[in-house]
Amino acid sequence: MIPFLQAMASGILMGTLYALIASGFALILGAARVFNLAHGDLVILGAYVGYGLWTAHRLPPLLASPLAVLLLIPLALALRPLLAKLKGPFELKALVLCFGLSLFLQNVMQALFTSNYRLIMVPAFEEGVSLGPVRVAQGRLLVAGLAVALLAILHILLHHTFLGKAMRAVTQDREAASLMGIDTRRVELYVLGLGGAMAGLAGPLFASLHYITPTAGLDITIIALILTIFGGVGKLLGLFLGGLLFGLAEALAVAFWGAQWKEFVSFLVLLLLFQWRAFGLLRGRRSS
Amino acid sequence: MILFVVLSLLPFLLRFDDYSLYVLTLGLLFASLSVSWNLLAYCGLISFGHAAFFGLGAYTSAIFSMEGGLSPWITILLGMGWASAFALLVGLTCLHLKGPSFALGTLCWAEILKALAFNFTSLTQGAWGLVGIPPLPAISLGRLRIEFYFSRTANYFLFLLLLALFYIVERKLFTSRLGIAMRAIREGEERASSLGIDAFLLKLGTLVLSGSSTGLLGALYAHLLHTIEPGTAFSLYISFIPLIMAMFGGMHHPLGPIVGALVLYLLNEFLFQPLLPWAHQVPYAIGILLALFFLPQGIVGQRIEIREGRVKTGP
């Protein structure tokens, strides 16, 4: 029983990080109407920045995260001029564009970092801490705490600042928002930057808990997508809950059947979610 | 037409060099794959999961010919059958999804099948893959004996014939009343439905056709290479490559996918692979970006527009 509780606890802790990753994806999907399939690759790129800084300078992932953000914000912002040039059905073309960029990023990372499995192994992260009946790794707890804190900051940003309210307004109804005098293009730019920042923050943290490869981005994107469909765009609480549930489900699947079923579970969950909540993504935008 | 004449003369020009013929054969395979994928795109459905049909066709045919001892000529049809049945399942679970969601739904199916192929080791040998898949048996036509195991030329012409067949079907379809209905769905599904087109049925039919032809290609691929593994048969590569090739060539013209596939594949194999081996997929990524920003109609579409004077050159 205890091993299962243990697996569940670490799954839930991992879930908070998933929620952090998904928050950037959901913001971009909501306000810029882009399925950013390269989101996971951005996270992985951030993770490699963290890995490089750790192996070269012993810089812990917590400090590497802000540096990864500096790299990823401009990259995410570079999406904006590309998106503006798309012709034809926007959402579909944007999806294909992000797919192309994801492919490009994966290849560049493969060339730069080789396809070996990498992990930021911080010795202090490995030590166990007792949480009631279970013991979890210190690093996992720390990362989860950080993820929750960052999500809380994001929540405050979205609900208590003008910019955040503008972002939510654009997510809910683009036309009405622009009629109210919100510069939707500028909001989109901010959202892309914020999404990139979230990916950058999450990257090094992810690499300190989980092995990374240049092509691991897709699985991360899929998880972000699952949480977004589950929680709905622009609903951080839904994302957070989805993250906890998904982390739990994943940990249980791995504990029962083994790690090789991980991808199977996440794709199956996504497919099932599509059956029940095909319009979950569009909720809030239906009114127009 | 000229393209096909050139393609059928090509082996003679290359003096039957085995390596070039092999690469060209795979080029033809990808061209046929792009044509199959493009059928679906013609109704406005972008699939990210054609690897599902391809891998299913490959595994079905390989397993039946290895375990069942059936002739590969029969098992490729079985592969095709399984792939079309699976296309029906994909259609019933994904066709209610719009645009990006449909694409992601098909991606899910491909990845689910990949995971199953990895994990059902008793049937598929998992990551080891299936090795020693029998080649296509020779055909005797009178005194002529066509040997698919030894002759690269025979394989080349088999795939060329197949591509020609796919092209003819595609062109017939696009110019028929069904093709007009497919275009109508692409441009506006609700309007098309209001004109009496059964959009769901037409899309489902197209998906099954596209899936079964992709399954056939997958099955042939298994017998051409004699070995398959989940990582290649169900790879993301198989799913995205027809998308890029068709977009690059032009999705709205029957020749587009073929031209796009041949140009990109040959560029990649003969230019990028030897010069920049680390960048073996970069041409595809660049191709997709080029197609999105500079060639919204693809190279074939662009040429037609210039010829018909629809594109203004200069300011």
**Average confidence (pLDDT) over A257-266:** 82
**Average confidence (pLDDT) over A160-186:** 84
Alpha-carbon Rg for chain B, nearest whole angstrom, is: 20
Q: At what angle do helices B177-187 and B152-175 cross, to 10 degrees?
A: 80
Name which residue leads in pLDDT, B8 or A153. A153
Look at A96-110, A241-255, B280-294 and tell me which has the smallest mean pLDDT. B280-294
User: Given an 8 Å threshold on Cβ–Cβ distance, is A89 in contact with B99?
Assistant: yes
Name the region of A139 (left: φ>0; alpha: ψ -120 to 50; beta: rest).
alpha
**One-character DSSP codes across B154-167:** HHHHHHHHHHHHHH
Q: Evaluate if residue A149 carries a pLDDT over 80.
A: yes
**Average confidence (pLDDT) over B145-172:** 80
Note the pLDDT of residue B279. 63
Q: Is B199 helix (H, G, I), strand (E, B) or coil?
A: helix
CB-based contact B218:B32 (threshold 8 Å): no
Give tens-digit pLDDT for B23-42.
888 888 999 999 999 888 88
User: Given an 8 Å threshold on Cβ–Cβ distance, is A107 in contact with B279?
Assistant: yes
User: Given an 8 Å threshold on Cβ–Cβ distance, is B108 in contact with A91?
Assistant: no
Residue linked to tokens 């919100």? A182
pLDDT confidence tier of residue B313, bands split at 50, 70 and 90: very low
Q: Is B146 helix (H, G, I), strand (E, B) or coil?
A: strand
Give tens-digit pLDDT for A123-132.
777 777 777 7
ipTM over 0.90: no
Q: Is B140 helix (H, G, I), strand (E, B) or coil?
A: strand
Note the pLDDT of residue A7. 82
Q: Is A134 helix (H, G, I), strand (E, B) or coil?
A: strand
Note the pLDDT of residue B54. 93
Note the pLDDT of residue B302. 72
Of A88, A107, A275, the CB nearest to B281: A107
* Most confident among B21-25, B49-53, B129-133, B286-290 (mean pLDDT): B49-53
Structure tokens, B155: 């394989």
Average predicted confidence (pLDDT) for chain A: 84
Task: Give CA–CA dist A281/A286, Å, rounded.
Answer: 10
User: Given an 8 Å threshold on Cβ–Cβ distance, is A107 in contact with B104?
Assistant: no
Q: Evaluate if residue A285 carries a pLDDT over 50.
A: no
| Closest chain A residue to the Cα of B93, Cα to Cα | A275
Contacts of A82 in chain B (CB under 8 A): 293
User: Given an 8 Å threshold on Cβ–Cβ distance, is B236 in contact with A96?
Assistant: no
CA angle A40, A45, A50 (to 5 degrees): 120
Sequence letter at residue B257: P
Q: Is B270 helix (H, G, I), strand (E, B) or coil?
A: helix
CB-based contact A174:A75 (threshold 8 Å): no
Give tens-digit pLDDT for B2-16.
777 777 777 666 666
Alpha-carbon Rg for chain A, nearest whole angstrom, is: 18
Q: Evaluate if residue B278 carries a pLDDT over 70.
A: no
CB of A35 within 8 Å of a chain B CB? The answer is yes
Task: Give CA–CA dist A140/A125, Å, rounded.
Answer: 7
User: Given an 8 Å threshold on Cβ–Cβ distance, is A100 in contact with B288?
Assistant: yes
Closest among B33, B20, B21, B24 to B237, alpha carbons compared:
B33
CB-based contact B184:B191 (threshold 8 Å): yes
* Rounded (10°) CA dihedral A29, A32, A33, A35: -50
Note the pLDDT of residue B142. 66
Q: Are strands B139-141 and B144-146 parallel, antiparallel or unpaired?
A: antiparallel
Sequence letter at residue A275: Q
User: Given an 8 Å threshold on Cβ–Cβ distance, is A96 in contact with B281?
Assistant: no
Give tens-digit pLDDT for A240-250.
888 888 888 88
Q: Evaluate if residue A281 carries a pLDDT over 70.
A: no
Q: Evaluate if residue A207 carries a pLDDT over 50.
A: yes
Closest among A211, A219, A206 to A263, alpha carbons compared:
A219
Q: Evaluate if residue A96 carries a pLDDT over 80.
A: yes
Distance to chain B for A107, nearest Cα, Å = 7
CB of A256 within 8 Å of a chain B CB? The answer is no
Of B97, B118, B285, the CB nearest to A100: B285
Contacts of B148 (CB under 8 A, 6+ apart): B135, B136, B137, B138, B139, B154, B155, B158, B223
**One-character DSSP codes across B19-54:** HHHHHHHHHHHHHHHHHHHHHHHHTT---S-HHHHH
Residue linked to tokens 């087109």? B197
Distance from the Cα of residue B91 to its chain's centroid: 18
**One-character DSSP codes across A13-28:** HHHHHHHHHHHHHHHH
Closest among A69, A72, A51 to A60, alpha carbons compared:
A51
Of A91, A222, A278, the CB nearest to B96: A278
Q: Evaluate if residue A283 carries a pLDDT over 60.
A: no
Residue linked to tokens 């096909």? B4
Structure tokens, B55: 């891998």
Residue linked to tokens 């600042």? A161
CB of A78 within 8 Å of a chain B CB? The answer is no
Whole-prediction pTM: 0.83
CB-based contact B101:A278 (threshold 8 Å): yes
Q: Evaluate if residue B214 carries a pLDDT over 90.
A: yes
Q: Are strands A134-137 and B139-141 parallel, antiparallel or unpaired?
A: unpaired
* Residue B145, phi then psi, degrees to nearest 5: -115, 120
CB-based contact A32:A174 (threshold 8 Å): no
Handedness of CA A111, A116, A117, A118 (dihedral sign): negative
Average predicted confidence (pLDDT) for chain B: 81
